[in-house]
Amino acid sequence: MKTRDQVISVADMADTADRLFPTLTPAQIDRVAAHGHRRPVARGEVLIESGDKIVPFFVIVSGEVQIVRPSPSVATVIVTHRAGQFSGEGNMLTGRRALIEARVTEPGEVIELDRAQLLTLIQTDSELSEILMRAFILRRVELIARHVSDVVLVGSAHCAGTLRVKEFLTRNGHPYAYLDLDRDSDAQQLLDRFRVVAADVPVLICRGDAVLRNPSNERIAECLGFNDAIDRTQARDLVIVGAGPAGLAAAVYGASEGLDVLVLETNLPGGQAGSSSRIENYLGFPTGISGQELTARAYAQAQKFGAEIMIANGAAQLACDGQPYAVQIDEGAHVPARAVIIASGAEYRKPAIANLSQFEGAGVYYAATPVEAQLCGGEEVVIVGGGNSAGQAAAFLAQTTKRVHLLVRAAGLSDTMSRYLVRRLEDNPAIELHTRTEIVSLEGGRQLERVRWRDNRTQAIETHDIRHVFVMAGAVPNTAWLNRAVALDDKGFIKTGPDLSEEELAAAGWPLARVPYLLETSRPGVFAVGDVRGGNIKRVASAVGEGSIAISFVHQVLRA
């Protein structure tokens, strides 16, 4: 039962208040009204209930509407909307459940739009699009900062599962309250109340009743209704597999050019780029941008144009025996698709070092370009890996660093590296090869400071004050799910366009007189972009470029 209302002060955000809670002009209100309908509202009427799956958008013409954070004990008023102001936050774009309640406190009139009408308005009116998108995104950020949520996570900083769930909620822009078993006395009480033991952490309590013990990301998405608004059986112009930079770019261009787009993402939106702490070399961001920020913007942008994105629901199969093709979602529905873009990326092989991810971008790198070389100029560096990419990185870094330690677990390089590279490394006094050797620990604070490695023949461990480690252990493409429905190269990456030989096309039963378009696989209308494509340059910019280029070929296929 609500005992009292408490008003959150907005004084601290006065400078952003106008952007969070703008007031529309009469002319702008008329343009909104053209997409929906006007109706009277009475005092006490609840326009939106917390947990509602279908959330309309309201512009207040007259009267007052309070936005309330629901709670069994203390209902908190977040803001009161008056004439010209409007309801809505990030979930207007995602189609997810309401986290707040909207109730009429002064009778008057509102304009009501359903989500489809709102998306049409945003896509067609650039002035209102800017005002509404900015307000929705800033309001979601505020909800996250204030932990206005239907979820409590109970976990421990020492538990990998807790980190995974936190990352999943954060990268999905879903606010949550967190209780740490090691620090918060309330945490144990809460576990007792729900009859859960500490061994079950992470525990997620959703909407005050559903208790999930160490849930998979798929289970969390299901419980929070992340994908409820998406029709899994509707035939699509385009199904995109993977929501990394390549898939999101294809979604933005495809949806903005009028295609009916569904994106399937097995895990988190943003892909590998989303986990990069700072991307320094992406065009237009001279001071760098975190991967999460970049991909969160792309995620919102794709949804703004109407692309639907299923989270924690991946593609399990591609059936190409008839037209339209069918993409199977996990164990479930088959989505008919007139065209398909595969953007399922690759996973970098990573050595099993407990805190490797802590130093990613802060001493641990997966690429050796002039950017990284500049960071470690004149210092000693370690390279892990015995393949050609490791050899090329060693030769390159030896030009500008004091010493390169090349660590390989094998007895030598001859089985894994081209002969010419092996010779080049052997001739270079700045490169020291350590065979049968592996890193056992990385140490430091915000930046890597020390590396310990072990000689597996003698078990001797050495400690070196080295601040830069390059992991060059290769990448594994995410193509197993395809079950060879398209032609792959000898490393499992997808072959496209001119890389496909006549024999490969004949073997795949290529049915057309024309040859495959650039980025088209051995199946007409099925494209591959980004890291999953053979010969691709593994960079955010190339993934984005390929994702956008592929759309022009999709149009050609759909027109044929």
Ligand X SMILES: Cc1cc2nc3c(=O)[nH]c(=O)nc-3n(C[C@H](O)[C@H](O)[C@H](O)COP(=O)(O)OP(=O)(O)OC[C@H]3O[C@@H](n4cnc5c(N)ncnc54)[C@H](O)[C@@H]3O)c2cc1C
**Interface with ligand X (CB under 6 A):** 241-247, 264-267, 271-273, 275-276, 279-281, 314-315, 343-345, 348, 360, 366, 478, 481, 530-531, 538-541, 543
Contact assessment for residue 255 and residue 306, using Cβ atoms and an 8 Å cutoff = yes
Strands (E), 143-202: 151-155, 177-180
C-alpha–C-alpha distance, residues 404 and 398, integer Å: 6
Judged by beta carbon, residue 113 or residue 239, the one nearer ligand X is 239
Judged by beta carbon, residue 21 or residue 325, the one nearer ligand X is 325
Judged by beta carbon, residue 194 or residue 285, the one nearer ligand X is 285
Judged by beta carbon, residue 14 or residue 352, the one nearer ligand X is 352
Provide the minimum distance between the beta carbon of 536 and ligand X in the complex, in angstroms, as a whole number: 7
Provide the minimum distance between the beta carbon of 343 and ligand X in the complex, in angstroms, as a whole number: 5
Residues sharing a CB contact under 8 Å with residue 423, sequence separation 6 or more, in sequence order: none
Residue with tokens 């006007």: 38
Provide the minimum distance between the beta carbon of 245 and ligand X in the complex, in angstroms, as a whole number: 4
Name the residue among 534, 242, 542, 519 with its Cα closest to residue 367.
542
Residues sharing a CB contact under 8 Å with residue 31, sequence separation 6 or more, in sequence order: 121, 125, 128
Provide the minimum distance between the beta carbon of 402 and ligand X in the complex, in angstroms, as a whole number: 24
Contact assessment for residue 470 and residue 397, using Cβ atoms and an 8 Å cutoff = yes
Judged by beta carbon, residue 76 or residue 266, the one nearer ligand X is 266
Provide the minimum distance between the beta carbon of 481 and ligand X in the complex, in angstroms, as a whole number: 4
Judged by beta carbon, residue 29 or residue 239, the one nearer ligand X is 239
Q: What is the DSSP letter of 90?
A: T
Distances (CA, A) of 444 to 112, 159, 374, 404, 448: 55, 20, 20, 20, 5
Task: Annotate 279-316 with DSSP letters as a single string.
Answer: B-SSTT-TT-B-HHHHHHHHHHHHHHTT-EEESSB-EE
Judged by beta carbon, residue 90 or residue 247, the one nearer ligand X is 247
Provide the minimum distance between the beta carbon of 344 and ligand X in the complex, in angstroms, as a whole number: 4
Element (H, E) at 556: helix 540-559
* Identity of the amino acid at 410: A
Provide the minimum distance between the beta carbon of 140 and ligand X in the complex, in angstroms, as a whole number: 21
Phi and psi torsions of 108, nearest 5°: 175, -140
Judged by beta carbon, residue 33 or residue 362, the one nearer ligand X is 362
> Using CB atoms within 10 A of its CB, is residue 499 exposed (0-12), middle (13-18) or buried (19+)?
middle
Judged by beta carbon, residue 208 or residue 535, the one nearer ligand X is 535
Contact assessment for residue 461 and residue 452, using Cβ atoms and an 8 Å cutoff = yes
* Identity of the amino acid at 289: I
Provide the minimum distance between the beta carbon of 333 and ligand X in the complex, in angstroms, as a whole number: 14
Judged by beta carbon, residue 167 or residue 360, the one nearer ligand X is 360
Phi and psi torsions of 534, nearest 5°: -60, 135
Contact assessment for residue 337 and residue 327, using Cβ atoms and an 8 Å cutoff = yes
Name the residue among 352, 355, 466, 449 with its Cα closest to residue 409.
352
Judged by beta carbon, residue 183 or residue 484, the one nearer ligand X is 484
Provide the minimum distance between the beta carbon of 267 and ligand X in the complex, in angstroms, as a whole number: 4
How many C-beta atoms surround the C-beta of residue 225 within 10 A? 16
Provide the minimum distance between the beta carbon of 362 and ligand X in the complex, in angstroms, as a whole number: 11
Provide the minimum distance between the beta carbon of 541 and ligand X in the complex, in angstroms, as a whole number: 6
